[in-house]
Amino acid sequence: MKKLLFLASMLLVSMVPTMAQEKKSEEKALMQQYYDLLFQKKDTVKANKTKAKLLKKYPKGDFARRNAAEKLWKLQGEEFNKAAEQFRKDFPIADFYANPDGGGHIYVNFYRSYSRKLWDEKNYDKLVEVMKEMEFSGLSELYSHTVMFYIMKRPDEPKTYVDIAEKMFAIMAEKSKTYVDMYNDGLSPKQSQQDALNYYTTVEAEVLMRSGRVQEGIDLMNTLPEDVRYNQYPKGNQLYAEALMDQGKKEEAVKAMMGAASTGMLTKKLGDMLKAYYNECEPKPAATYDQFLNSLKTPTYLENVKAHVAAGLENEPFKPFEMMSIKDTKVSSADWANDDIVVLDFWATWCAPCVAALEGMQMAVNKYKDDPKVKFYFVDTQDKAGDKSGPERVWKRKNLSPDDMLVLFDNSEEGKEDMSVVYRSLFPGTSGIPKKIVLKGGKIRYRAEGYGGSPSGLMDEISAIVELLKEE
């Protein structure tokens, strides 16, 4: 009898997934019928009847979930919040985690919208509750668009959001240990999750230190292995070294500076601190500061920079041009000697990455300040013609030298205000900035787009191409 009961129970267990699969199959068939009626046959009457049948027969099914999500996007304010809470109750993401289906994107979009709305409303208690249901990639995106954006771009005092940032980071760190395949693509990028968490660790350390919780920021940085710690975020490296120096831990601070230098992750200020250390040293660790700085960089880092630059070498002629400078002087490409190496940085006052990259360009300018064969110009492009006040404000805010970093204005077509003539001649078929171009002997030798976020990394890239062209 016991054996029969056991066999019966096993049969029942084996039937459960089969029954669930059949139910899913039936729902999918009915959904296909609905979409055919609605989009192919344009029969809204029958389509609505099929829709009602789907919602009644499968109130917690895939179609009902999609339908509820679609209704959400039409709501605003408190109505959205109430409907969002009902969605969480009716279609708990825990069910999806237990039995993943093709609806992962619905949850991705839902939690993305709801979590950011709660952040904007400063409804942090509810946000913490919601974040606990999210997986790592969603939390990573949320952290990037809230905490990281605020600390890097916004004037808000970090003290106003440090507590919720700490909670968000803690939840994200815990979720980094597992991977949820929200898109059913079969990938399992656990290492990429760890890499992202390493980066956010240094950002979170900045939030803590700028909120007055300096020791907590130092302790958080110290959780990263040294071979990882300094290869993440230049500003985090700077604050870490400054904090150690303020605590009288000069040896540790110097170690942090050297670590940041080894991977090309120095800010200008951190570079100045390292140079001050070099000037204090007796005897000197190298004949010049540049030699000392290069000696700190890992062979792998240097090889990667050189390989990147070598792969981008060109030898294409360009159309000669003239541009006016902010000092009302004319700069002509015809005046450059064949062995002059000319670096043009195309930027705009409205372009945040362009302005951010100026710090690295300043480091490159300073490195070649005494070399008359290396010239730098900063071309204001795609801006309002004749407006000197914009570049002047940027230069003043960034404490840049108008003599060492001379601003040129791109040319405008007759009757138009937008300046982009020289830009379009050198970068045909594109409009993105920032862009760098290196010219020599009447030829385009190198072009680069964007900004990777590291001032010293940008300096190293410019330095690598300059030194390569000098050897010709």
Q: What's the confidence (pLDDT) of residue 203?
A: 98
Residue 415 structural domain = 305-471
Same domain for 286 and 417, yes or no, is no
| DSSP letters for 47-105 | HHHHHHHHHHH-TTSHHHHHHHHHHHTT--HHHHHHHHHHHHHHS-HHHHHHS--TTHH
The answer as to whether 404 is a domain residue is: yes
Is 200 within the bounds of a domain? no
Do 373 and 253 share a domain, yes or no?
Answer: no
pLDDT computed for residue 272 by the predictor: 97
Out of 253, 278, 297, pick the residue that ends a domain: 297
- The enclosing domain of 449 has a CATH number of 3.40.30.10
Residue 188 lies in a domain: no
Question: Which pLDDT score, from 0 to 100, does residue 51 have?
Answer: 87
| Backbone φ and ψ of 333, nearest 5° | -65, -20
Residue 422 and residue 329 share a domain: yes
Same structural domain, 256 and 309: no
Number of domains present in the structure of the chain: 3
Q: Report yes or no on 265 lying in a domain.
A: yes
292 & 311 share domain? no
pLDDT band per the 50, 70, 90 thresholds, residue 185: low
Contact status, residue 265 vs residue 199, Cβ threshold 8 Å: no
The per-residue DSSP string of 242-300 comes to HHHHHTT-HHHHHHHHHHHHHTT---HHHHHHHHHHHHH-SS-SSSSHHHHHHHHS-HH
> Which of 297, 314, 340 lies at the terminal end of a domain, its last residue?
297
User: What average pLDDT score do residues 129-149 get?
Assistant: 98
pLDDT in tens, 425-437: 999 999 999 999 9
Same domain, 386 and 279: no
Is 7 a domain residue? no
Structure confidence at residue 188 (pLDDT): 61
Quick one: tokens of 246?
Answer: 């303020």
Asked whether 289 and 366 are in contact (CB, 8 A), the reply is no
**Are residues 435 and 310 part of one domain?**
yes
* Residue 410 near residue 423 (C-beta atoms within 8 A): yes
For position 26, what pLDDT does the model report?
86
pLDDT at 6: 45
The pTM of this model reads 0.86
Residue 219 above 60 pLDDT? yes
Residue ending a domain, among 51, 67, 94, is: 51
Judge if 448 and 312 occupy the same domain. Answer: yes
Residue 10 has pLDDT above 80, yes or no: no
Is the domain of 410 the same as that of 285? Answer: no
Mean pLDDT value across residues 439-462: 97
Q: Band of the pLDDT at 74, cuts 50, 70, 90?
A: very high
Q: Are residues 376 and 260 in the same domain?
A: no
Residue range 9-19: average pLDDT? 44
Average pLDDT over residues 84-100: 95
Are residues 315 and 260 both part of a single domain?
no
Chain mean pLDDT for the chain: 92
Domain presence at residue 128: no
Provide the pLDDT for residue 3.
46
Is 234 a member of any domain? Answer: yes
Look at residue 408 and tell me if it is in a domain.
Answer: yes
Q: What is the pLDDT of residues 273-316, one digit of tens each?
A: 999 999 999 999 999 999 999 999 999 999 999 999 999 999 99
Pick from 62-76, 88-102, 440-454 the range whose average pLDDT is largest.
440-454
In a shared domain, residues 278 and 402: no
Per-residue pLDDT tens digits for 310-333: 999 999 999 999 999 999 999 999
C-alpha triplet 450, 456, 460: angle, nearest 5°: 80
User: What confidence tier does 410 reach under pLDDT thresholds 50, 70, 90?
Assistant: very high
